Structure 1
Amino acid sequence: MTNNTIITIGRQFGSGGHEIGNRLSERLGIPLYDYNLIRMAAQELKIDPQKAQEVDETILGRYMASAVSGTGSGAYILFMNGTEYEQPLSEQIFEMQSKLIEKLAEQSPCIFVGRCADYILGDYSNCINTFIYAYKEDRIRRIMKLYDLNEKKAWEKIKRVDRTRKSYYEEHTDREWGSIEAHQMMFNSSLMGIDGVVDALEGIYKKWEA
């Protein structure tokens, strides 16, 4: 792999992690990859991007794959060395995203939001792995505003999305999502603010590059 500096961002839902990634991308002039990796993987696998989204980021994806593939088994039929076998569509998507992440990291410095990128690039020494979290009240306010929800609905959505992200991450990595053991550095966006976290990561990136 090249010496490109890569930033990976894991985040609680409503913590502002994606906004931090976008602002950092603009400041540093480097690309950001997130859900667009699903579209890229779908294109490589020659499947409908919308259907790929339906089975992505969920351990239930392997059971939903039949609705996408049209097979009754919940898997696509694959061939390797002349042998026919089945693989859940969710796993095909994850494997293709992993290959794309490795390829993109080789091409240029960049930012990955989610997608287990910290784990996929685990052997890459030039990777700044971060996790963004925030206080419950701040997360609720952010989601209420973004999705025009009341407080109860916002908190329900936060719990649902976090549960999905946790399951997805832990199934593929055998690490605890959001733990200090799984991430190099963690930032509380409630204490630091969005700009404060962006400032910190910009400084770390530039020092790393130097």
Structure 2
Amino acid sequence: MFRIVTVAREYGSGGAGIAQLLADHLDWKLLDRCLVEKIAEHARIDPKLAEQYDERPDPWINRIVLSLWHGGLMRGAMAGPMPELFDADAMASLSRQVIEEAAAIGNCVIVGRASQCILQHRSDAFHVFVYAPRAERLRRIQSRHASKAEAELALEARDQERAALIRRYYNQDWANRHLYDMMISSKLGDETVLSSILRAMGL
């Protein structure tokens, strides 16, 4: 019996909204934005800082600075020890911890954050990938007051960031169908997608 659902989604596909509908229908806890807040609480940092690394790998400049520091090339230029940094590595580690804690309790719907990889070994987890036609995704993104050009940039950037995160920390292709129990297009409509997921779960 399934006690956990993970929902990976293309940016602008409406997958987060479908996850909310699913959690409401099952009366389960939804872990989406609150995951970031919980990670910030664990790390004792401002949630806004955690948001900067939400489903994003480190910017390349951060990786260069850290590698130079750990290689000893910058230590002569700076007095004192390297300050404790919160980066994508810390975010990935804490995300895994929080997601595994939630999965141990069960009855939860988890949105993104590599949860489909973290919980891949669990037989009680059902993994969904929500996608949509490009035009539909752009329409959704533009409804958030973005111009068409901004929407196109955001669409490409966010999907690339999510794919890069999965590749870096889990050596997996984000869109690999073998990671999921169901891949479904949101163009079918929220209610149809919801009922299809429930039926596939045997509910």
TM-score by length of 1: 0.80
Measured against aligned partners, the alpha-carbon deviations of 1:126-168 in whole angstroms (never above 9, x if no partner) come to: 11111000111111111111x1123222122111111111111
Question: Which structure 1 residue ranges, 4+ long, deviate > 3 Å from structure 2?
Answer: 61-65
Q: How many residue pairs end up in the alignment? A: 189
183, 191, 197: which one aligns with 2:193: 197
2 CA distance for matches of 1:31 and 1:177? Answer: 24
Q: Is the 8 A contact 1:102 1:120 kept in 2?
A: yes
Measured against aligned partners, the alpha-carbon deviations of 1:58-112 in whole angstroms (never above 9, x if no partner) come to: 22258549x9xxxx949xxxxxxxxxxx886321221112111111111131101
Q: CA deviation at 1:181?
A: 2.5
Q: CA deviation at 1:55?
A: 2.9
Higher strand share: 1
2 CA distance for matches of 1:95 and 1:110? Answer: 20
After the TM superposition, which residues 2-151 of structure 1 pair with which residues of structure 2 at under 5 Å, given as runs?
Answer: 5-60=3-58, 64=62, 73=69, 89-145=87-143, 147-151=144-148
2 CA distance for matches of 1:182 and 1:204? Answer: 16
- Structure 2 unaligned residues grouped into runs of 5+: 71-83
Code of the residue aligned with 1:193 in structure 2: it is G
Q: Is the 8 A contact 1:61 1:89 kept in 2?
A: no
Q: Is the 8 A contact 1:54 1:61 kept in 2?
A: no
158, 161, 164: which one aligns with 2:161: 164
Identical amino acids, percent of aligned pairs:
25
- Structure 1 unaligned residues grouped into runs of 5+: 75-85
Q: What RMSD, in angstroms, separates the aligned Cα atoms of the two structures?
A: 2.7
